[in-house]
A = this chain, B = another copy of it.
């Protein structure tokens, strides 16, 4: 379903989805990125998801774009426009790029026939000799024609597109003119094709906007939170967090090291944080699994660290480049021994910034490891967002004064937090230890010391005042949707569609997964008769976790599906409306 702005005429939409596809070398990602940049420049919001086959390079690829007059947190259920440079392997994208009778399919008849599934979709097929047009303009490429077509079809001002093309190609004098000509030709073709996929004019730009991916946002959140040491090992889809941080940290006087493996990277950040420097690593499922032992060390020795887990399809190597929310169980439960830890989850691309910053703040304040559960969708999606607010979360660790009297590193305090002596501080030398210990840090296998320290470590997390940021709570009604992370976007859209149908619902998008906030959730769900728990995995890990920690009120339903297909607003909308009538 595509929103139509009331009174703006049938052709002016508040949200339009466009996919550009083609086989290896066709440059569809470039076209998509330019489209996004142009829309951003012209004042729209938008996002772009990259999708490609298993090939390292040169396989089929799709740029999945959505543009709107309002901020976007997810793709739409369907696409208004699909521009295909060729048909090769296009059927592989059929699930990811659903078309229907209201859609427009633009393709090159010289490349053969559209795939069966699209023929059946009853989308209008506009034939366009894309390659021929490009060939006719010497030195131009089909993807620039496609850029023009797509931009024209959705009504992007030509100036914005031209500006982006000029900026991108400013170093290649020869390429510019033919590219601009191809774009021009694309616009002409679009005007011939017509259709009703035009975007409504953008609203006024109140705040500064950014074009950012979730992985970049997480990196910047880390820096804003005070992280100045990062060690990491490359892994899809987390590598960009590290790649963004490498020059950024150098610029602000921090350090990033590429470690030999994940065992090294997490132990490196623990060592650095022991040295007083807020530290972080980023990884995905397989790497997180390798970090489990050292996460326990950070719990026991009370060393603050942050691990950003950009989730992908599992188990094992699974589906490396696709999104899934299936690391909930390992994040909240995956350590040996009684090992309380912090687990937070951003719920939009831009929230990757603030939530990562918050994670640093919590880790530092509570001298504990914090896991940030991002995912491939957030991490690798580029989105136009309002510049996030300047959050005040800054790492502030309780440190020991010089020559503290009879210093006890693990002193038993009411809050459970004990002042941490930072190397360099005179008179407070101590040994941090992963063995159970006394308050001084001396290894102890005594039942008393063990119970005291277990309780202290639990208390400092449970007793903390996390504030309203623990969840985004919206709406009223006796149906509640409880979710987290990248399912929040589709749930939000589904709720507003349901509201349009007269079905009022509540949203609880949990940002703080662990420690569980039982009282707060109970309050958020007060009066609720039905709870829909939404998550993107096979076994219902989030629901199981909720059940283990909370007594969910009323009737509980699980809405879940593993990756790689996103959960769509449409299906949630139907679920909510049907349930409200059941």
Task: Report which A residues bind B (CB closer than 8 A).
Answer: 53-54, 92, 95, 285-286, 288-290, 292-293, 296-297, 299-301, 313-322, 324, 326-327, 329-330, 332-340, 433-436, 443, 445-447, 450-451, 454-455, 458, 537-539, 541, 544-545, 547-549, 561-565
Assess whether A435 is in contact with B293, with CB atoms less than 8 Å apart: no
> Which residues of B have CB within 8 Å of A549?
544, 547
B299, B315, B335, B548: the one contacting A339 at CB < 8 Å is: B315
Most buried by B among A434, A447, A455: A447
Chain B residue nearest to A435 in the complex (CB): B317
Known: A326-B337, A548-B548. 19 other contacts (CB 8 A): A54-B443, A286-B296, A296-B314, A313-B337, A314-B335, A317-B435, A318-B337, A319-B435, A319-B436, A322-B445, A324-B337, A326-B336, A327-B336, A330-B334, A330-B336, A333-B333, A451-B538, A458-B538, A458-B539
Assess whether B336 is in contact with A541, with CB atoms less than 8 Å apart: no
> Which residues of B have CB within 8 Å of A455?
538
Assess whether B434 is in contact with A316, with CB atoms less than 8 Å apart: yes
A537 to B330, CA, bound (A): 19
> Which residues of B have CB within 8 Å of A54?
443, 445
A320 to B300, CA, bound (A): 14
Assess whether A451 is in contact with B327, with CB atoms less than 8 Å apart: no
Give min CB distance, A215 to chain B, whole Å.
Answer: 18
Give min CB distance, A318 to chain B, whole Å.
Answer: 5
Assess whether B340 is in contact with A335, with CB atoms less than 8 Å apart: no
Give min CB distance, A365 to chain B, whole Å.
Answer: 20
B315, B327, B338: the one contacting A300 at CB < 8 Å is: B315
Assess whether A316 is in contact with B330, with CB atoms less than 8 Å apart: no
> Which residues of B have CB within 8 Å of A53?
445
A547 to B436, CA, bound (A): 29
Most buried by B among A54, A317, A545: A317
A539 to B341, CA, bound (A): 12
Closest 10 interchain pairs by CB? A314-B337, A315-B337, A285-B336, A316-B434, A300-B316, A333-B333, A289-B293, A334-B334, A315-B339, A548-B548
B288, B293, B454, B562: the one contacting A290 at CB < 8 Å is: B293
Assess whether B548 is in contact with A338, with CB atoms less than 8 Å apart: no
> Which residues of B have CB within 8 Å of A326?
336-338
Chain B residue nearest to A549 in the complex (CB): B544
Chain B residue nearest to A334 in the complex (CB): B334
B330, B443, B446, B548: the one contacting A544 at CB < 8 Å is: B548
> Which residues of B have CB within 8 Å of A454?
538, 562
Chain B residue nearest to A297 in the complex (CB): B316
A92 to B444, CA, bound (A): 11
Most buried by B among A318, A433, A547: A318
Can you list 13 A-B contacts (CB < 8 A)?
Answer: A289-B335, A300-B315, A300-B318, A315-B337, A315-B339, A316-B434, A447-B563, A450-B562, A450-B563, A451-B562, A454-B562, A455-B538, A545-B548
A319 to B336, CA, bound (A): 12
> Which residues of B have CB within 8 Å of A319?
435-436, 445, 450
> Which residues of B have CB within 8 Å of A547?
547-549
B292, B299, B316, B446: the one contacting A301 at CB < 8 Å is: B316
Give min CB distance, A96 to chain B, whole Å.
Answer: 8
Assess whether A447 is in contact with B565, with CB atoms less than 8 Å apart: yes
Assess whether B318 is in contact with A335, with CB atoms less than 8 Å apart: no
B433, B539, B565: the one contacting A338 at CB < 8 Å is: B539
> Which residues of B have CB within 8 Å of A329?
333-335
A515 to B219, CA, bound (A): 39
Give min CB distance, A324 to chain B, whole Å.
Answer: 7
Chain B residue nearest to A448 in the complex (CB): B95
Give min CB distance, A395 to chain B, whole Å.
Answer: 23
Most buried by B among A288, A332, A445: A445
A362 to B296, CA, bound (A): 30
A133 to B512, CA, bound (A): 67
Assess whether A316 is in contact with B299, with CB atoms less than 8 Å apart: yes
Assess whether A314 is in contact with B285, with CB atoms less than 8 Å apart: no
Give min CB distance, A289 to chain B, whole Å.
Answer: 4
A317 to B391, CA, bound (A): 37
> Which residues of B have CB within 8 Å of A458?
538-539
Assess whether A338 is in contact with B322, with CB atoms less than 8 Å apart: no
B313, B436, B538: the one contacting A445 at CB < 8 Å is: B313
> Which residues of B have CB within 8 Å of A443?
54
A443 to B538, CA, bound (A): 19
Assess whether B315 is in contact with A335, with CB atoms less than 8 Å apart: yes
Contact A450:B313 (CB < 8 A) given known A290-B293, A338-B537? yes
Chain B residue nearest to A561 in the complex (CB): B451
